[in-house]
């Protein structure tokens, strides 16, 4: 069913000022755990819990929500709503206040010089890294637009990781600081 406040259904993530990530457009959300081989080397992704797909939802980006990976439903929803310039997202989240649920590595083709990117469906992974005993960033896949609170549109990329621990020096993007600060989703 289409969302009346986002009639185009365009998937996007808005980075609110001092607030959460506002996700709209019905983007699927799952946990993605980094699996390791017997030598402890990163080997493959394993898909875990699938969260119910909602048309829109708010994801924590400070690491302090009690309902991670979602933004705390009792937190600063109103500030987040007023922190974005996107009218559709504003309208949507105003409507939802009452029931808020709360790549860096690229392969290049030698001949053409074109990047070889995996064919990814638009989806968001909540990364867990049990080998490091930490939780990782949000993994936006399939070219989901990321919009800053002031309306600035970041370059659309097939793979992007957004900080959800609050410690990155390169916000909204993850810079690996979650390992240093020992950010954990499960504690």
Q: Which residues bind ligand FES (CB under 6 A)?
A: 136-137, 163-165, 167-168, 174-178
Q: Which is nearer to ligand FES, 4 or 17 (CB)?
A: 17
Give the nearer residue to ligand FES in terms of CB position, either 158 or 177.
177
Q: Measuring CA to CA, how many Å separate 80 from each of 25, 55, 101, 124, 153?
A: 18, 18, 14, 20, 18
Closer to ligand FES at the Cβ: 20 or 81?
20
Nearer Cβ to ligand FES (59/167):
167
DSSP state string for 119-182: ---SEEEEEEEGGGTEEEEEEEES---EE-TTSPBPPP-SEEEE--SS--TTTTB--SHHHHHT
- Please report how close the Cβ of residue 120 comes to ligand FES at its closest, in angstroms: 20
CB of 169 to ligand FES, least distance (A): 8
Min separation Cβ 132 and ligand FES, Å: 11
Q: Which is nearer to ligand FES, 94 or 179 (CB)?
A: 179
Q: How far is CA 119 from the centre of its chain?
A: 18
Shortest Cβ 42–ligand FES spacing (Å): 15
Rounded to whole angstroms, the Cα distance separating 33 from 30 reads 10
Other residues' Cβ atoms within 10 Å of the Cβ of residue 184 = 15
Q: Is 137 left (phi over 0), alpha (psi -120 to 50) or beta?
A: beta
CB of 131 to ligand FES, least distance (A): 15
Sign of dihedral through CA atoms 155, 161, 163, 167?
A: negative
């Amino acid at each position: 069913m289409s969302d009346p406040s986002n009639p185009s259904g365009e998937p996007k993530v808005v980075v609110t000022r001092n607030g959460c990530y506002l996700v709209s457009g019905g983007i699927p959300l799952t946990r993605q755990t980094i699996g390791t081989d017997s030598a402890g080397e990163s080997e493959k992704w394993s898909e875990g819990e699938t969260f119910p797909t909602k048309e829109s939802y708010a994801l924590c980006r400070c690491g302090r929500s009690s309902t991670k990976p979602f933004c705390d439903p009792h937190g600063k929803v109103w500030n987040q709503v007023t922190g974005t310039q996107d009218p559709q997202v504003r309208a949507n989240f105003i409507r939802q206040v009452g029931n808020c649920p709360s790549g860096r590595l690229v392969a290049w083709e030698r001949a053409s010089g074109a990047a070889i990117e995996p064919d990814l469906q638009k989806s968001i992974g909540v990364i867990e890294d049990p080998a490091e005993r930490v939780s990782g960033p949000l993994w936006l896949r399939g070219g989901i637009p990321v919009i800053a609170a002031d309306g600035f549109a970041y370059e659309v990329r097939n793979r992007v990781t957004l900080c959800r621990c609050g410690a990155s020096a390169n916000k909204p993007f993850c810079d690996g600081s979650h390992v240093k600060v020992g950010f954990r989703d499960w504690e």
